[in-house]
């Protein structure tokens, strides 16, 4: 059956090709319409009154008459027109070109119908000629779009051949014309609405029908848009490139230069990462310091990002390409802001002023702490403290402060040079400068951190002692094996000593609690300041600036969906709609494309934080990735 | 074919419903909300400026007056661009989908389009909010369960028309949906 049909089709094509070559369609005699053997497709679902949709590119609306080439989507009864093939053409060459495109792009591109752009009422021969073409290219339904030159009246028919015996019984369907801007649809990327959390990823593909298929078809048919009607080829096509080829010299140069530059930078970065991963830095004191400083974390993060940007592998998906672009813009902005900061610091000679002011400020802070301790050692806020314990703790902390002040005075000649070198690091980026600032704050308030740890440990010990002795007072015991409270019978002397200790601890509780409270508040203040700086660094790290710029300047590239507008409508004419791209809102752009950050976020909820504070457990809000918990 | 009717919303304001019939498979409803009145605008401006003048007599700082002018201007622009909706449009296209557009007073339009494959039905729901109010909503299909409902999208949320207006819109929507179901499910 197949061989016979092909022979018949060849015969038909041979007859038609001989008459196509001379040129203008009006001079062609009527070819006998050879009925195609695969005419009535029994598998096509068709019901009377169904409306077919034809997606037509706006760039082809002014093209000369020819054949419509595109893809037919039977599930949505819609035809996506991709290009117009102009007269004169040889059907065999058209079919070859379409087969090539189909192989290259995996899109089922076929001839869908005819397109007629004429001046006045059609002549009879043209009508028969166009129907004859319907016989050569077997596609059902066969579309015949028609437009009068210079006016807005369109007409379209979609016919189905019922069979060779009864061509008059062919049915016609209503057609709805939907115009779309081919270039914008080609370049845009559809973002489906966020799936609900209880769905698997595979389910969404079933519902992403209709319009996603149109976008997909246009995007994958790049191979069809290679040649144009102005090219010297066997087949002349009209599509979005016919409106003028767009290219920018700078972009082309950048693409050409990107290869060697990426290779060179990738080698450099791999050298740096190899140097930083060598064994010397993994020894215990150094590795401990590196893990605590946020500057090292930030530098490592930037190094990873740069390695990703300049890697010689091409990006596999549009999401990866966006991520690379976002990272590059973020790094460039960071370096620019850092250089601005550096120039501002040097212009006003702020580094010298800062170095001069640092020692007096540290002295002032130590003095204030001493005043605070003197106040605590007296009768703070009218509370009566246990004098002995008070004096012990107060003297201990005062000695600490004395040590700290001497240390600072020892360092004072070197401060300015250290600050100057640190200021230079701002040319690596504003985020690095901010991380260094956060680390400097941490180093300068190290004594507050020490006091907090001492106070917290004492308080924690006291609270645990109190709870265990309270259980003894009630005659219970903590069962470590079963992890629960069990009753226990104690001896009399155990009970006596336990109750004594319990009383002592209870009366010493206010003193310890007060010291703990004061130093915890100071520590929380320092942590809050560091937290703000980290928040700013995270913001600069994770904001997708390239995507936001793209949304601002080329909103059609990031599409949330489409919107339709009904064009002028006359009764009796088909319904015409204009499909435009609905851009993604800014909040969704940030949400979809935000870059991953170091992950230094507080991992406690407010409830667990309060619980830890009450029981005296140490809080470490800025746990770095990969460190074990204390 | 176009016709216009006048209804009222749940607060008593006047609404105008414009219906455009393009073809048996394409219908558009445009509901215009009551406009911003000169009286309310004057009242708000006078309140803000009187308060600013009162502060000025206390503080003797002219920055307060210029700040009041800026706040009034920016507030008005923000209100027109982000808050005040001028009209809401519902466009139903058989076999394509349903599109809702809200046009703000400054001309900004925000559009949502739902494909017909995701639409289960269009219904009028009841809600109890100090009194019983009715609203039109679209029920979306659940991709996992064929007859389940995954989401409810309410329509005309700023115009808030009453039941008589909603019945008009509901009848026309059901005509088109029935036609669409008939043509799509036949083999």
Alpha helices (H) in B10-102, listed in sequence order: 38-59, 63-78
Distance from CA of B109 to the nearest CA of A (A): 11
Distance from CA of B46 to the nearest CA of A (A): 35
Distance CA A3, CA A308 (A): 55
Task: Give the model's pLDDT for residue B179.
Answer: 86
Task: Give the model's pLDDT for residue A21.
Answer: 42
pLDDT at A125 over 70: no
Which of B93, B113, B118 comes nearest A207 by C-beta? B118
Contacts of A204 in chain B (CB under 8 A): 143
Task: Give the model's pLDDT for residue A598.
Answer: 67
- pTM of the full structure: 0.79
Task: Give the model's pLDDT for residue A621.
Answer: 63
Interchain CB distance below 8 Å, A564 and B91: yes
Residue A188 burial class via C-beta count within 10 angstroms: exposed 0-12, middle 13-18, buried 19 and up: buried
Which of A178, A203, A562 comes nearest B113 by C-beta? A562
Which of A76, A203, A582 comes nearest B111 by C-beta? A582
Task: Give the model's pLDDT for residue A37.
Answer: 38
Task: Give the model's pLDDT for residue A240.
Answer: 78
Which of A174, A564, A569 comes nearest B99 by C-beta? A564
Distance CA A504, CA B17 (A): 82
Interchain CB distance below 8 Å, B94 and A51: yes
Mean predicted confidence (pLDDT) in A41-68: 73
B39-96 tens-digit pLDDT: 999 999 999 999 999 999 998 888 889 999 999 999 999 999 999 999 999 999 988 8
Q: How many CB pairs under 8 A join A and B?
A: 69
B150-165 tens-digit pLDDT: 899 999 988 889 999 9
pLDDT at A85 over 80: yes
Task: Tell me the helix, strand and coil percentages in chain A, rounded to 5.
Answer: 60, 15, 25
Express as a percent the part of chain A with pLDDT over 70.
Answer: 81
B110-144 tens-digit pLDDT: 999 999 888 999 999 999 988 899 999 999 988 88
Cβ atoms B29, B90 nearer than 8 A? yes
Task: Give the model's pLDDT for residue A147.
Answer: 83
Distance from CA of B139 to the nearest CA of A (A): 15
pLDDT at A166 over 50: no
Interchain CB distance below 8 Å, B143 and A564: no
Interchain CB distance below 8 Å, B143 and A210: no
B55 and B130 within one domain: no
Task: Give the model's pLDDT for residue A39.
Answer: 37
| Chain B residues near any Cβ of chain A (below 8 Å) | 20, 22-23, 25-26, 28, 91, 93-97, 99, 101, 111-113, 115-118, 141, 143-144, 150, 183, 186-187
Contacts by A473-480 with C-beta closer than 8 Å and gap 24+? A473/A498, A473/A499, A473/A502
Q: Hunting for tokens 């215009």 — which residue is that?
A: B32
**Nearest residue of chain B to residue A44 (CA atoms):** B187
Distance CA A376, CA A384 (A): 10
A305-329 tens-digit pLDDT: 888 888 877 777 888 888 889 999 9
pLDDT at A547 over 90: yes
pLDDT at A587 over 90: yes
A7-54 tens-digit pLDDT: 444 444 444 444 444 444 443 343 433 333 333 344 344 555 678 889
Task: Give the model's pLDDT for residue A232.
Answer: 66
B147 and B96 within one domain: yes
Task: Give the model's pLDDT for residue B185.
Answer: 63
Mean predicted confidence (pLDDT) in A156-167: 60
Task: Give the model's pLDDT for residue A583.
Answer: 92
Interchain CB distance below 8 Å, B111 and A563: yes
Interchain CB distance below 8 Å, B118 and A564: no
Where exactly are the structural domains of chain A? Answer: 2-243+559-582, 247-344, 348-530
Contacts of B115 in chain A (CB under 8 A): 209-211
Task: Give the model's pLDDT for residue A603.
Answer: 64
Task: Give the model's pLDDT for residue A32.
Answer: 39
Contacts of A215 in chain B (CB under 8 A): none
Task: Give the model's pLDDT for residue A167.
Answer: 45
pLDDT at B97 over 50: yes
B71 and B50 within one domain: yes
Contacts of A563 in chain B (CB under 8 A): 99, 101, 111, 113
Distance from CA of A143 to the nearest CA of B (A): 18
- Bridge partners, residue A622, by sequence: none
Lowest mean pLDDT among A94-108, A221-235, A520-534, B132-146: A221-235
Task: Give the model's pLDDT for residue A229.
Answer: 67
B121 and B100 within one domain: yes
B52 and B29 within one domain: no
The Cβ-side half-sphere exposure at A475, using a 13 Å CA radius, reads 4
Mean predicted confidence (pLDDT) in A602-612: 79
Q: Which range scores top for mean pLDDT: A225-239, A417-431, A434-448, A523-537?
A: A523-537
Q: Hunting for tokens 């082809």 — which residue is that?
A: A60
Task: Give the model's pLDDT for residue A19.
Answer: 40
Distance from CA of B10 to the nearest CA of A (A): 29
DSSP symbols for A129-174: HHHHHHHHS--SSEEEEEEETTS--EEEEEEE---SS-GGG-EEEE
Structure tokens at B27: 């219908």
pLDDT at A390 over 90: no
B72 and B106 within one domain: no
Task: Give the model's pLDDT for residue B187.
Answer: 45
Structure-model confidence comparison of residues A48 and A344, the more confident one: A344
**Nearest residue of chain A to residue B150 (CA atoms):** A196
Preceding peptide of A117 cis, ω within 30°: no
Structure-model confidence comparison of residues A131 and A176, the more confident one: A176
Distance CA A74, CA B177 (A): 20
ipTM value: 0.86
Q: Domain containing B71: what range?
A: 38-82
Task: Give the model's pLDDT for residue B99.
Answer: 94
**Nearest residue of chain A to residue B151 (CA atoms):** A196
B118 and B152 within one domain: yes
B102 and B59 within one domain: no
Task: Give the model's pLDDT for residue A600.
Answer: 56
B162 and B88 within one domain: yes
Distance from CA of B155 to the nearest CA of A (A): 17
Mean predicted confidence (pLDDT) in A83-92: 83
Interchain CB distance below 8 Å, A203 and B183: no
Which of A53, A204, A582 comes nearest B96 by C-beta? A53
Contacts of B23 in chain A (CB under 8 A): 569, 575
B45 and B57 within one domain: yes
Distance from CA of A562 to the nearest CA of B (A): 7
B76 and B55 within one domain: yes
Structure-model confidence comparison of residues A230 and A108, the more confident one: A108
Lowest mean pLDDT among A104-108, A421-425, A591-595, B172-176: A421-425
Which of B25, B95, B151 to substitute to test the interface with A, most A CBs within 10 Å?
Answer: B95
B77 and B161 within one domain: no
Which of A45, A53, A564 comes nearest B95 by C-beta? A53
Interchain CB distance below 8 Å, B117 and A207: yes
Contacts of A53 in chain B (CB under 8 A): 95-96
Structure-model confidence comparison of residues A247 and A202, the more confident one: A247
Which of B114, B119, B143, B178 to substitute to test the interface with A, most A CBs within 10 Å?
Answer: B143
């Amino acid at each position: 059956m197949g061989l016979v049909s092909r022979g018949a089709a060849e015969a038909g094509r041979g007859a038609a090709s001989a008459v196509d070559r001379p040129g203008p369609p009006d001079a062609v005699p009527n070819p006998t319409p050879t009925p195609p053997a695969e005419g009535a497709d029994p598998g096509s679902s068709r019901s009377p009154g169904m409306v077919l949709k034809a997606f037509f590119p706006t760039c082809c609306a002014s093209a000369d008459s020819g054949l419509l080439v595109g893809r037919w989507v039977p599930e949505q009864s819609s035809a996506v027109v991709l290009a117009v093939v102009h007269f004169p053409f040889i059907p065999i060459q058209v079919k070859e070109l379409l087969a090539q495109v189909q192989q290259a792009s995996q899109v089922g591109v076929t001839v869908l119908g005819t397109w007629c752009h004429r001046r006045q009422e059609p002549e009879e021969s043209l009508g028969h000629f166009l129907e004859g073409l319907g016989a050569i290219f077997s596609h059902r339904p066969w579309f015949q779009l028609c437009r009068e030159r210079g006016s807005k009246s369109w007409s379209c028919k979609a016919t189905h051949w019922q069979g060779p015996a009864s061509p008059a019984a062919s049915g016609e369907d209503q057609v709805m014309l939907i115009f779309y801007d081919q270039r914008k649809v080609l370049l845009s990327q559809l973002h489906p609405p966020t799936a609900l959390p209880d769905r698997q990823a595979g389910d969404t593909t079933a519902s992403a029908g209709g319009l996603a298929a149109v976008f997909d078809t246009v995007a994958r048919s790049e191979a069809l848009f290679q040649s144009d009607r102005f090219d010297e080829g066997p087949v002349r096509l009209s599509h979005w490139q016919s409106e003028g080829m767009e290219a920018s010299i700078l972009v082309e140069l950048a693409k050409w230069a990107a290869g060697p530059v990426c290779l060179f930078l990738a080698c450099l970065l791999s050298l740096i990462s190899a140097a930083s991963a060598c064994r010397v830095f993994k020894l215990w004191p150094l590795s401990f310091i590196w893990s605590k400083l946020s500057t090292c974390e930030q530098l490592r993060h930037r190094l990873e990002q740069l390695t990703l940007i300049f890697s010689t592998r091409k990006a596999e998906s549009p999401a990866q390409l966006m991520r690379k672009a976002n990272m590059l813009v973020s790094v460039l902005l960071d370096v620019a802001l850092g250089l601005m900061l550096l120039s501002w610091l040097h212009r006003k000679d702020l580094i010298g002023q800062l170095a001069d002011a640092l020692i007096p400020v540290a002295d002032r802070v130590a003095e204030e702490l001493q005043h605070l301790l003197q106040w605590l050692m007296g009768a703070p806020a009218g509370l009566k403290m246990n004098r002995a314990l008070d004096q012990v703790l107060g003297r201990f902390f005062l000695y600490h402060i004395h040590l700290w002040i001497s240390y600072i005075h020892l360092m004072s000649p070197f401060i300015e040079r250290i600050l100057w070198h640190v200021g230079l690091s701002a040319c690596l980026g504003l985020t690095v400068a901010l991380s260094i600032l956060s680390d400097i704050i941490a180093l300068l308030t190290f004594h507050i951190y020490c006091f907090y740890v001492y106070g917290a440990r004492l308080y924690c010990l006291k609270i645990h002692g109190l709870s265990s002795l309270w259980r003894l007072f009630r005659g219970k015991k903590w069962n470590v094996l079963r992890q629960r409270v069990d009753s226990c019978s104690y001896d009399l002397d155990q009970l006596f000593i336990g109750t004594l200790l319990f009383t002592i601890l209870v009366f010493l509780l206010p003193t310890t609690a007060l010291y703990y409270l004061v130093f915890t508040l100071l520590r929380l203040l320092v942590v809050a300041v560091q937290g703000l700086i980290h928040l700013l660094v995270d913001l600069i790290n994770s904001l997708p600036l390239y995507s936001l710029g793209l949304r601002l300047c080329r909103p059609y590239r990031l599409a949330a969906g489409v919107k339709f507008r009904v064009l002028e409508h006359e009764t009796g004419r088909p319904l015409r709609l204009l499909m435009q791209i609905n851009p993604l809102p800014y909040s969704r752009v940030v949400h979809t494309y935000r870059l991953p950050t170091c992950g230094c976020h507080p991992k406690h909820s407010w409830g667990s934080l309060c619980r830890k504070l009450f029981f005296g457990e140490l809080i470490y809000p800025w746990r770095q990735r990969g460190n074990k918990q204390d | 074919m176009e016709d216009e009717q006048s209804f009222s919303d749940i607060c008593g304001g006047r609404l105008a419903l414009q219906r455009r019939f393009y073809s048996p498979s394409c219908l558009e409803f445009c509901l215009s909300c009551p406009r911003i009145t000169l009286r309310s605008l004057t009242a708000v401006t006078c309140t803000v400026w009187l308060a600013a003048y009162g502060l000025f007599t206390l503080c003797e700082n002219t920055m307060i007056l210029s700040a009041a002018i800026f706040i009034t201007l920016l507030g008005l622009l923000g209100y027109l661009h982000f808050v005040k909706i001028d009209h809401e449009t519902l466009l139903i296209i058989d076999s394509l989908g349903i599109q809702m557009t809200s046009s703000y007073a400054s001309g900004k339009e925000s559009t949502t389009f739902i494909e017909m494959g995701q639409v289960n039905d269009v219904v009028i729901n009841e809600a109890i909010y100090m009194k019983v109010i009715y609203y039109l909503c679209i029920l979306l299909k659940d991709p996992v369960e064929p007859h389940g409902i995954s989401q409810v999208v309410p329509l005309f949320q700023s115009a808030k028309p009453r039941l008589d207006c909603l019945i008009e819109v509901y009848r026309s929507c059901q005509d088109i949906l029935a036609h669409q179901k008939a043509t799509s499910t036949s083999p």
